[in-house]
Every structure is written in C-alpha cells, then in structure tokens.
Amino acid sequence: MDMKKHKNTHKGAAVLFFLFGLLFFVLFARFIQLQVTGVADGQVLAVKAEEKYKQKRTLDAKRGTIFDRNGEVLAEDVPSYTVVAILDPKMTIDPKHPRHVVDPHRTAQKLAPLLNMGVDEVEKILTKNAKQVEFGSHGRNISYELKQKIEALHLPGIGFIRDTKRFYPNGNFASYVIGYAQKMENNETVGKMGLEKKLDKYLREKNGYVSFAGDINGFRLPNTKEKIVPPNNGDNVYLTIDGKIQSFLEDAMNEVEKQYRPKKIIAIVADPKTGKILAMATRPSFDPNKRDITNYFNDAISYPYEPGSTMKIFTLAAAINEGVYNGNEQYHSGAYKVGPNVIRDHNKVGWGTITFNEGVQRSSNVAFAILVKEKLGEDRFLQYLHRFHFDQKTGIDLPGEAVGQIHYRYPIERITTGFGQGTSVTPIQQIQAATAIANGGKMMKPYVIDRIVDPDTGKVIMKHEPEVVGQPITEDTAHKVLDILETVVTSEHGTGRPYQIEGYRVAGKTGTAQIPSPNGGYLIGRENYIFSFLGMAPKEDPRLIMYVAVQQPKLSYTETGAAPVSRIFTSVMKNSLQYLHIQPSPNQDKKVKEQAVGMEIASYVGRSTEEAVKELKEKGLIPVVIGKGQQIEEHIPRAGDRIIARERVVLKTDGEAVMPDVRGWSLRDVMKVAELLGLQTSVKGNGYVVSQNIRPGAIVKKGDYLIVELAEPRKWDEAVMQKQKEAADRKSDGPQE
C-alpha cells in the first residue's frame, strides 16, 4: 500500500515538473522575443515605458488681446470654469466627508437656480448611470463670481474644471468690427468673424509644455533632465477705434433704434486726415459673448445700395474741378427731360427759376442732371466716378468688403448716377471719397488696425501708416465744395438744417435713397427709404467725417426721415469734437447758432394772424392759416417743438375754420390740419396728395370726414391729370354736390 502511494507521488511530481518546465520555456521564449524585437502586441515597449514614466505638464498660452487706440480692452482671454458632478460612490472614502453627489434632489434644488436650469432637468443629469457628468452649455464658461457662489453652497460631489474663454467686456460694442472667436471641440479657440477671424494667425496662441521622467506618483526622478517648450502667446492688436467715440455712437444708435425701430442703421466716424476709422457700428447688432447674430455681414462695408443725394457731393466736386460750375447761374427747376424719361425734383414742381447754389441747398435733382448732361458731359463724369474709386473696393482691413456697381449703360442711368440713383456704393466707399473733400483733395485709404505687437518682446510686428490712394480734385476745389456744403446746413432753403451743431460749422449733404422692390421698381411709402447724411466738421478744417444712414424708420406723421439721422449725427459729432478738445469754430454767425438743431418754435397763441404769418416767413417757414379770424388760437408744430427749414406751420385762428388746399402736400402736413380741426381722415395711396374731398376754402367742423388720395412723385402728374379729367367729366354731367 505504501509502495503504491509512493509510486503515485512520483508520477504527480513528474507531471508538475513537466508543466512548470513548459511554462518556463514559454516565458523564456517570450522574453527572448521581447528583448530581440522590442515589440509586444504591435506596440513598441520603449515608447510605452516612456509614456508611463515620462511626466508632461501643459503650459497654457494666451490668445492675443484686442485693444482700442487708447489701450482699453475690447477682447481678451479670461479664466472660466466648467461645473462637473461626481456620481461614483467609490470616490468617497470617508462617509463623513462625501466626495460624490449623495442627495441628487437636494443638490438639484440648490444648483439649478444658479445655472439657470430647471430643478427636474438638473436632477435628471445627477441620476445618470455615469461616474462624472457635466451640465451642458449652462455649466460651461461660468465666471469666477458664479464659481464662488456655487462653492459657498458646499454641495458634495460638485467640482470645477478650470479653462479660459474669450470675453468681450463691452458686449454689443463695435461687434461687427471685432467679430468673435469660438472654442472648438479640440479645445482650440478659433476666430470666426470680423477681426478675430481676419487676424486669427496673429491672435492664435500655442500652448507649451514641460516634460520629465517621473515615478508613478508623478514625482520627478533624480538625476533626470527637464524638457521645456515655452508657450507662444498670441499677438496683441491695437485698433484705430476710439472707445469713447464708439460709446457715443452706440448710445445714440440704441436710442434711435428703440424709438424708431428701423430695419437698419449704419454709421461710421473717421479721421479724414489719416483714414483712421474712429467708430463703426450697425443695427441690428449682436453681443459677441452670446453670439445672438441675425446678420452675418458688416453693412458698413458689405452693403451696396443706391446712396441718394449724398452722391451729389462728388458730382458737385467734379463740376467745380472741371471749371464748369457757376453757382450764380440760373436754371429752371422742377423737371428735366432725358430722352423719353423725365427727371423731377423731390417736390415734383420745383421752385421756379433758381441758382445752382440754391439747387444744391434744396437738393434739386434737376440741377445735378443738368450738371452731368450739359456741363460735365457723361464721359467726363464717369472719369470722376473712377477717380473717386466708386468702381473698386477701398481695401479696408476688415473681412467681407463688397463693392457697388456703376450702372452706365443707358442714358438715363448716366444722369441719375449724378444724384445717387441707379448706381450703388457702400458706406465705406462714400467715407473714402469724402476724405478728398475734407483733406484738401487727397483721398485717404480707410483702416481700423493700427498695429500688431508681440506681448512678450514688445516688438511691433505690423504697423499701418496713413495712405493717400488718389487726388481726384485739387485743394482749391475741396475748399469750394466745403463752402457750398456748409450752406446746405445753414441756408434757409437747405435740406441739412437739422444737422447744425451750435458752436461748430458743419458742411454736409443729406440723402434719401430709394429701396429696390423684390417685384421690380422701388418700394413706395413715406418711410420706405434709406435716409442719410454725410457731414464734416469743423468746416474750416475738418477733423471728423461722419456718415449715418437709417433704413425704413417708423416715423410719426409730423416727422421726416431727418429726425432719426440728425439725432445720431448731431449728438455723436458734437460730443466727439468736444472730447477731442477741438475748439469751436471762430466767428460763427449768431443767426446760424439760433437756427441750430434744437431750436424750438415759439408760441403764437394769442398773437395776431398777420404778425404770426410775417414772423414765420422771416424764419424761413411756411405758414398755413386755417380760419378767418384775426387771432391765433392754436398751431402745429406746437410751442417747444423742433422745426426744420421750409416746414409748414399750420395756424388755426378764431372764428370759422376753413379747409386749405392740401394738394401736393405730404401726409405729414395733412395730419397737422386734421389734428387741429378735429377731422376724421381716410388715406389712400402713398406719396403726395393729388385729391381731397373737402374743397379748399370750405368751412369745416370738428368730426367732418377728410378723404385724401396720394401718389408717388413719379406718378403725381399723371394722377393729377386723371383727377382733373374726372372732375371735368362730372361737371359736364351736371351739378355735383
């Protein structure tokens, strides 16, 4: 029995020896293979070993900062944090000090209000089957202040990941100039719009790192060398934008946007001596921090449109430069025939025979049609369009610049281009061209980037200098144009009277641009225009040039398109001149000061009708008397209201009220009469009145019904003739009521 047991023991030992021997052989063979090849499962072991023991720490770099010309920050990288929640119970070692979310419902109740989320939404995230969770966009890029508020709650399991985000401290501020940058999935910040996109190669940072051999706990091993790759910070960019002037502009545009609700506002302020853009803004706008964008184009440089009468500045300059302009020469205003087409002044009938200087002041289309057709000649005028660079981009250092089109194929297009119809240009093209007027004939290229600087060395990488891009007119011509444009603002006939600034002499030109209709032709209606003004100040040596355009504002019946435009221009220009310590214009005419924007109409209530009419005429206004009495009872505009040149002032006298002849009037003026007399109104059409149901001179009473029919200027003559024919037909049929 013992022998048998001993025999079995030896047999088992032999089997075990064989198995251990085989295992040793396999391991030894594997060892030899690894030693010879250095590869296991397709991976190089030396590399894996280095990865295990080589420690690497990222050295964060910073994206370049964008500053205004005074060194104020417009865009910068700031610390941000991402909120995370640890859900894995294994992370808690001491139950008294939990390191995971113990109570999801209570945590959600505390955290949700701070993240601007619903409690149920947060609780759903906190009960996921995961070890760690985030809270989407609500929990990313939070500020340090919000982080502190969350930490003060002492919520178990709630922690933070530190990061950086692009921050725009002024929000909706020159946003189409600055643009925005966005962090991508690979954690890189990339410029997506505006200068952030155009200058991305300068602004973009590159993180550095330090690497060393270390143990499994991350401690550096002795007698080992470090490898350091320093971070490469992005370059800093300094703009020509002046934060103070930009603030003046943004505030004024905000007020106008709120009151008039226009479809667009475009404004640019520039230094005509250098071409530096000091302010640029559009509406609608957006906050780069929120990226609530509705329009991805910078309309100041990307929106070509028919400019309207601001284009007359350059037609006038061309005529003066060629020696064919005589401001005292007379012409007959109202209409001018070009082939089968008839060009009309904006009031349809003109002002009789007037001088060309008065034609400029009144913004007469006929005057400029004659200048192009008879004085300059169409070919010579086209040369000046090229000399003012209306056929090419300005080359401003902003992305997305567009260029207008000079329509010069048909005879009528060549003439209408002279007063801003047909041909399209961009606002920045007009600014560049106008620098020649304000800068002694030298046309300056506009730019917004002043310099780019390496933040670590202080080395200037790129610097912009003022650049003359042409001299379309002489210095003498420029001075003469300024002299005439000043009268547009100061003359009793001038369309630019609302743009006067007390203490400073302003030269400029108004514009009322038609808007093409999607169905062909142009939009109709008193609000369906782009109202604009291109002005320079001080006139004797312009230091600032400004263009403002407001598209389709919501106007009251007693307002014109100049109301929202002048509100922006006058406030921004005056504040900017004073901010730059530009002295008021010397020897400014006292009468000009008294006629400046903000002049209020006096009260004529209780005064004699004759006296009131005489005084209003002396002030360049148009009195309209509705009544047979000798004393004024009420008037519109009322005492304290602002008034502009050639505005109708409707005077209601004592005694019986009579209906005036309102044919040819605007609806705005008609509503003055209706309000004073207490009439109910019915309006058909748009434009100017062609017929009225209450005959002129008829006695009216409160509550009477006034029906007026209006027609656009280009159809006004036909409409009047049709109404006259209908009246004649009714008369031939017998007496009518």
Helices (H), 441-561: 475-490
Report which of 729, 658, 731 is spatially closest to residue 695, judged by C-alpha positions: 658
Tokens encoding 436: 């020649």
Residues 6+ apart with CB under 8 A from 11: none
Q: Tell how strand 132-134 and strand 158-167 pair up.
A: unpaired
Dihedral sign from CA coordinates of 389, 392, 395, 399: positive
Task: Enumerate helices (H) and strands (E) in the chain, giving the number of each.
Answer: 22, 33
- CA–CA distance, 529 with 570 (Å, rounded to integer): 21
Quick check: 137 and 121 in contact, CB under 8 A? no
Report which of 422, 417, 356 is spatially closest to residue 382, judged by C-alpha positions: 417
- CA–CA distance, 332 with 335 (Å, rounded to integer): 8
- CA–CA distance, 282 with 553 (Å, rounded to integer): 14
Quick check: 547 and 268 in contact, CB under 8 A? yes
Quick check: 396 and 447 in contact, CB under 8 A? yes
- CA–CA distance, 444 with 335 (Å, rounded to integer): 37
**DSSP 3-state assignment of 691?**
strand
Would you call 231 exposed, middle or buried from its count of C-beta atoms within 10 A (0-12, 13-18, 19+)? Answer: middle
Residue 408 corresponds to which amino acid? Y
Preceding amide of 637 cis, omega within 30: yes
Catalytic residue among 309, 532, 571, 585: 309
Residues 6+ apart with CB under 8 A from 590: none
Tokens encoding 77: 């990288």
Tokens encoding 208: 């550095």
Residues 6+ apart with CB under 8 A from 148: none
Residues 6+ apart with CB under 8 A from 343: 335, 336, 337, 365, 366, 369, 415, 416
Tokens encoding 664: 């040819």
> Is 363 labeled as catalytic in the residue annotation?
no
- CA–CA distance, 280 with 430 (Å, rounded to integer): 14
- Rounded alpha-carbon distances, angstroms, from residue 366 to 136, 351, 420: 63, 11, 12
- CA–CA distance, 73 with 174 (Å, rounded to integer): 12
Tokens 């002046």 identify what position?
242
Tokens 């002030």 identify what position?
619
Quick check: 494 and 645 in contact, CB under 8 A? yes
Dihedral sign from CA coordinates of 492, 493, 498, 504: negative
- CA–CA distance, 496 with 485 (Å, rounded to integer): 9
- Rounded alpha-carbon distances, angstroms, from residue 512 to 68, 419, 477, 496, 565: 33, 10, 25, 12, 11
For Cα atoms 697, 699, 703, give the angle at the middle one, nearest 5 degrees. Answer: 125
Can you name the residues that pair with 510 across neighbouring β-strands?
533
Q: How many CA atoms are closer than 13 Å to the CA of 400, on its beta-carbon side? A: 21
Tokens 């890029």 identify what position?
141
Tokens 């962090």 identify what position?
183
DSSP 8-state code for residue 308? G
- CA–CA distance, 305 with 530 (Å, rounded to integer): 9
Q: How many CA atoms are closer than 13 Å to the CA of 659, on its beta-carbon side? A: 22
Q: What are the residue numbers of the active site?
A: 309
